Amino acid sequence: MSSLRLMRWYIAAALVFAPAASLFAQDSQVARTTEGDVTRFGSLRADDVNVRAGPGVRYPVKWKFVQRNMPVQVIAEYDTWRKIRDWEGAEGWVHRAMLSSKRSLIMLGKGQTLRKDATDDSVAVARLATGYVVTVSRCRVDWCEVDADGYEGWVKRDGVWGVPPGEKLQ
């Protein structure tokens, strides 16, 4: 291979791999600029939220959320962007305008029975299927008081995602 051809090959390789290298550099910058414990729960503000590979519109959309009030956990911050984790463990970046501090929960396992009071023998109000999203008003040690589209009652805390163990909501 001639030296001119080799030089063209190196230039072409640099043009292809330089953007990828800058993405890695920016990702390490994100880790350095996040200070303190930013971990908290919230929910999605809209029915159509893009989740991106990095903190900015130049990063590709990995997937979309299509349900308002879906609970998410904020695990990192960079400028106006928040890295979130969903109930299945998937992570990505969303703009802070797409997040709300309003708390919600998602039903896990085989769903749950919504009960009138916070006891196992209380009257059943409704049956909530796996993946059903409810708004939460408060949580005790073992139970959370929720609103499921107008049906109000209590669900067991160990069958939901969106509130960490030990946190008491008032």
- The more confident residue out of 113 and 17 is 113
| Within a domain: 63 | yes
Per the structure, the count of domains in the chain is 3
Query: 124 and 91 in one domain?
Result: no
Residue 16: the pLDDT is: 41
| Within a domain: 48 | yes
Query: 90 and 72 in one domain?
Result: yes
Query: 62 and 12 in one domain?
Result: no
Residue with tokens 């330089």: 18
Residue 5: the pLDDT is: 46
| Within a domain: 169 | no
Question: In the structure encoding, which two tokens stand for residue 47, read together?
Answer: 């029915």
Residue 134: the pLDDT is: 97
169 has a pLDDT exceeding 90: no
Residue 48: the pLDDT is: 95
pLDDT in tens, 6-16: 444 444 444 44
| Within a domain: 168 | no
3-state secondary structure of 151: strand
d(CA 89, CA 52): 15
Is residue 147 within 8 Å of residue 135, measured between CB atoms?
yes
Query: 141 and 125 in one domain?
Result: yes
Residue 40: the pLDDT is: 93
Residue 69: the pLDDT is: 95
Residue 73: the pLDDT is: 96
Residue 36: the pLDDT is: 61
Look at residues 63, 78, 101 and tell me which one is the last residue of a structural domain: 101
pLDDT in tens, 24-74: 444 444 443 345 678 899 999 999 999 999 999 999 999 999 999 999 999
Query: 117 and 131 in one domain?
Result: yes
Could you tell me the pTM of the whole model? 0.76
Q: Which residues span the domain enclosing 95?
A: 40-101
Look at residues 101, 116, 137 and tell me which one is the last residue of a structural domain: 101
Q: Which residue intervals of the chain are DSSP H helices?
A: 3-33
pLDDT in tens, 103-161: 999 999 998 999 999 999 999 999 999 999 999 999 999 999 999 999 999 999 999 99
